């Protein structure tokens, strides 16, 4: 049974529509991540699910029950905020038990649940401390603990790791993944960090301008993006985009000519594109190599040696930078000319409107 | 002039100015302390040394003034005014900051404009209102006009800007109604702001002179400031006794400031860190 459903959900502030009709189906136990650039509406959508923002139109159902006008505390959700939102005047124990106390849960039961959550998150020694006596990571664990004690049907996370330093972020990311495995509860998670999205999600929802661009598993989105935006947003370093023109071959096949790359022609079939039309070719940095029937003549502009791999930033003449990921780049130098080869089958083709041509 | 000389001259001017300001602030206080130990004649002569009349002055003060009553009157008015002002103005400041409405800023601007009206212009209409309400010569008449303080509302609204909206959201998810968020989250989190406002409002209410002078007409209702003033304006004022009264009147505000000064400073810097 589907646990959380959004049917044509919209949100407007006056005449300004920020969520423009979202349909989504989230199943029990799924880890769903909303990603998108700043201002795309991902946090607003999460707040609408939480009941912190009114839904202008459409339906939000949890377990089949319409929740549009139900109080946040009665939706069966718990939320973890970006700034943790711990009550500064309460101890960790009081923070974690506060919602239960208000819901009239017996004292012994509150103690049990707080103890249980503290065990899961290793918060036992911190229970009598105030939030200001905790580190960022500990505060985040308390915020998660506060959500766990409520035994919610759905956890909502609003950019929970963005206030942490890089090392702690990786650590907490693993903790959250482990927690999801342990609790097997539905999680809806908002982030602008696509690495977080890729590593945590069962399902990613990519948003832009209040619209869902694509929904799918992380690798589906990576391998098979529906449009130019998703292709560019998912993956780090991001996909290379080359402007090309579709040309008909003598034998009835088509190929793509790249005017910015010395009119190199790539044996790429742009299905559905008429000869003469402009397309964008997308190639992931790791798809460049020393073999493949397609080739670009480039000059290396800059190199980033990361030890295991090297990112070469190269261009043709004064054209746009192309990022190439290679395992054998230790001997490369800036100014070197290289033939960046790739298999045309790895290239994705997008039409002038950014839609994927398959 | 080289750099070193300019710096020394600058330091001298700065210290001189600060010293002068410190002297101007401390002098009345010092004069009050010394005056309490001297006879009225010595004070008029300008004697600025400790005298031997302290015991006489204290005895005279307690003979002439029903001290427990006037202090009780002052305390009652100051505490009532402070508690009510903080309750009403903090609710208003919180409301102005947190709730959005089309007319919010217009109403707020109108409220702030009331700070520009001098109290003298309001005295007569207020007196007529209190008269019609039958409150003349009651402490309630002193307290009522001070409760809706535009300045304190302004102060609370400004400090509420630092109150994280995510705390409100978290409380809503935890099941709290708006009034519960105010009571259980906002008030404790903003306690330094309340402490700072408490000191300001309490001192203003304790030292209030003009309005109580107008509405409090019987000796049973008068406050310490009115009584000290009447001592000073007697046909043969005994300034030593007036100074004793002034010291005693200063003690409660000093005590409030002393006990709450740490939170006062914190409140001035902002409650939320």
- The answer to whether the CB atoms of B173 and A103 lie below 8 A apart is no
Rounded average pLDDT over A47-57: 96
Can you give the residue range of the structural domain that contains A154?
2-233
pLDDT at position B272:
59
Residue whose structure tokens are 């039409």: A351
Residue B225 lies in a domain: yes
Q: Of the residues A233, A252, A277, which one is the last residue of a structural domain?
A: A233
Token pair of A341, please? 């080869």
Could you report the per-residue pLDDT of B157-208, keeping only the tens digit for each? Answer: 999 999 999 999 999 999 999 999 999 999 999 999 999 999 999 999 999 9
Nearest chain A residue (CA) to B174: A99
- The answer to whether the CB atoms of A81 and B273 lie below 8 A apart is no
pLDDT at A315 over 60: yes
At A316, is the pLDDT very low, low, confident or very high (cuts 50, 70, 90)? confident
Other Cβ atoms closer than 10 A to A235: 20
Assembly ipTM: 0.85
Per DSSP, the three-state class of A69 is coil
* Conformational region of residue A242, where left means phi above 0, alpha means psi within -120 to 50, and beta covers everything else: beta
Other Cβ atoms closer than 10 A to A194: 22
List the CATH number of the domain containing A150.
Answer: 3.40.50.300
pLDDT at position B1:
58
Q: Of the residues A210, A233, A256, which one is the last residue of a structural domain?
A: A233
Token pair of A344, please? 């045309």
| A177, A297: one domain | no
Token pair of A104, please? 């009239």
Per-residue pLDDT of chain B (273 residues; tens, 9 = 90+): 577 888 999 999 999 999 999 999 999 999 999 999 999 899 988 888 998 999 999 999 999 999 999 999 999 999 999 999 999 999 999 999 999 888 999 999 999 999 999 988 999 999 999 999 999 999 999 999 999 899 999 999 999 999 999 999 999 999 999 999 999 999 999 999 999 999 999 999 999 999 999 999 999 999 999 999 998 887 888 999 999 999 999 999 889 888 888 877 777 776 555
| DSSP-derived secondary structure letter, A52 | S
Nearest chain A residue (CA) to B185: A87
| DSSP-derived secondary structure letter, B174 | T
| A260, A185: one domain | no
Q: Is the distance from CB of A277 to CB of A266 less than 8 angstroms?
A: no
Q: Of the residues A190, A214, A233, which one is the last residue of a structural domain?
A: A233
pLDDT at position B184:
96
pLDDT at A252 over 80: no
| DSSP-derived secondary structure letter, A348 | E
Rounded average pLDDT over A304-316: 91
Residue B5 to residue B11: CA distance in whole angstroms: 10
Residue A103 to residue A222: CA distance in whole angstroms: 43
Q: How many domains does chain B have?
A: 1
List the CATH number of the domain containing A261.
Answer: 2.40.50.140
Helices (H), chain A: 42-50, 92-102, 107-121, 136-148, 166-183, 194-200, 218-223, 228-233
pLDDT at position A1:
45
Number of helices (H), then strands (E), belonging to chain B: the values are 15, 0
| A175, A253: one domain | no
CA atoms within 13 A on the CB side of A160: 33
C-alpha dihedral over B8, B9, B15, B19, to 10 degrees?
Answer: 140
Residue A179 to residue A194: CA distance in whole angstroms: 20
Residue B51 to residue B35: CA distance in whole angstroms: 8
- The answer to whether the CB atoms of A103 and B164 lie below 8 A apart is no
User: Looking at beta carbons, which residues of chain A come within 8 Å of B186?
Assistant: none
User: Looking at beta carbons, which residues of chain A come within 8 Å of B191?
Assistant: 89
Residue B10 lies in a domain: no
Average predicted confidence (pLDDT) for chain A: 91
Q: How many domains does chain A have?
A: 2
Per DSSP, the three-state class of B219 is coil
Residue B41 lies in a domain: no
pLDDT at position A7:
96
Instruction: Tell how strand A278-283 and strand A348-350 pair up.
Output: antiparallel
| A247, A147: one domain | no
Q: Mind telling me how many Å the CA of A19 is from chain B's nearest CA?
A: 20
List the CATH number of the domain containing B144.
Answer: 1.10.3720.10
| A162, A252: one domain | no
Can you give the residue range of the structural domain that contains B121?
54-269
Q: Is the distance from CB of A273 to CB of A332 less than 8 angstroms?
A: no
């Amino acid at each position: 049974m589907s646990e959380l459903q959004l049917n044509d959900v919209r949100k407007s502030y006056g005449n300004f529509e920020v969520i423009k009709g979202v349909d989504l189906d989230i199943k029990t136990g799924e880890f769903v991540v909303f990603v998108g650039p700043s201002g795309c509406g991902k946090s607003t959508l999460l707040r609408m699910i939480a009941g912190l923002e009114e839904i202008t139109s459409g339906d939000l159902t949890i377990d089949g029950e319409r929740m549009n006008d139900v109080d946040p505390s009665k939706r069966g959700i718990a939320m973890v905020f970006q700034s943790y939102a711990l009550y500064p005047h309460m101890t960790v124990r009081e923070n974690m038990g506060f919602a239960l106390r208000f819901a009239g849960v017996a004292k012994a039961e509150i103690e049990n649940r707080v103890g249980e959550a503290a065990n899961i998150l290793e918060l036992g020694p911190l229970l009598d401390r105030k939030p200001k006596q905790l580190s960022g990571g500990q505060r985040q664990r308390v915020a998660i603990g506060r959500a766990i004690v409520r035994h919610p049907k759905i956890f909502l996370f609003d950019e929970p790791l963005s206030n942490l330093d890089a090392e702690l972020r990786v650590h907490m990311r693993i903790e959250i993944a482990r927690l999801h495995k342990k609790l097997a509860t539905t999680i809806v998670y908002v982030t602008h960090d696509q690495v977080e999205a890729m590593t945590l999600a069962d399902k990613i929802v990519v948003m832009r301008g209040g619209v869902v661009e694509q929904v799918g598993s992380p690798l589906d989105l990576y391998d098979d993006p529906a449009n130019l935006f998703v292709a560019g947003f998912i993956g780090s370093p991001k996909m290379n985009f080359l402007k090309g023109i579709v040309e008909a071959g003598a034998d009835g096949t088509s190929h793509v000519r790249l005017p910015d790359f010395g009119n190199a022609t790539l044996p790429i079939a742009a299905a559905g594109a008429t000869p003469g039309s402009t397309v964008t070719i997308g190639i992931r940095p790791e798809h460049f190599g020393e073999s493949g029937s397609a080739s670009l003549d480039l000059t290396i502009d800059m190199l980033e040696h990361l030890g295991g791999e090297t990112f070469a930033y190269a261009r043709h003449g004064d054209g746009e930078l192309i990022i190439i990921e290679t395992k054998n780049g230790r001997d490369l130098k800036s100014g070197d000319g290289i033939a960046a080869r790739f298999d045309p089958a790895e290239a994705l083709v997008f039409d002038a409107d950014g839609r994927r041509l398959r | 002039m080289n750099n070193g000389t300019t710096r020394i001259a600058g330091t001298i001017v700065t210290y001189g100015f600060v010293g002068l300001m410190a002297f101007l602030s401390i002098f009345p206080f010092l004069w009050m302390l010394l005056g309490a130990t001297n006879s009225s004649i010595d004070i008029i002569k300008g004697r600025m040394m400790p005298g031997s009349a302290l015991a006489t002055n204290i005895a005279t003060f307690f003979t002439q003034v029903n001290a427990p009553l006037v202090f009780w009157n002052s305390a009652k008015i100051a505490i009532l005014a402070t508690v009510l002002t903080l309750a009403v103005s903090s609710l208003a400041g919180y409301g102005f900051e947190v709730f959005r409405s089309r007319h919010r800023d217009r109403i707020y601007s109108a409220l702030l404009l009331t700070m520009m009206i001098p109290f003298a212009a309001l005295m007569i209409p207020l007196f007529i209102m209190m008269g019609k309400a039958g409150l003349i010569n009651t402490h309630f008449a002193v307290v009522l006009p001070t409760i809706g303080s535009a300045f304190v509302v302004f102060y609370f609204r400004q400090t509420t800007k630092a109150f994280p909206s995510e705390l409100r959201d978290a409380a809503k998810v935890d099941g709290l109604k708006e009034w519960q968020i105010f009571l259980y989250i906002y008030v404790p989190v903003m306690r330094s702001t309340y402490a700072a406002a408490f000191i300001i409002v309490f001192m203003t209410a304790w030292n209030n002179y003009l309005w109580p002078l107008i509405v409090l007409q019987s000796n049973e209702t008068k406050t310490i400031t009115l009584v000290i003033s009447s001592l000073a304006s007697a046909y043969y004022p005994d300034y030593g006794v007036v100074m004793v009264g002034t010291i005693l009147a200063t003690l409660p505000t000093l005590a409030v400031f002393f006990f709450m000064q740490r939170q006062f400073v914190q409140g001035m810097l902002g409650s939320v860190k």
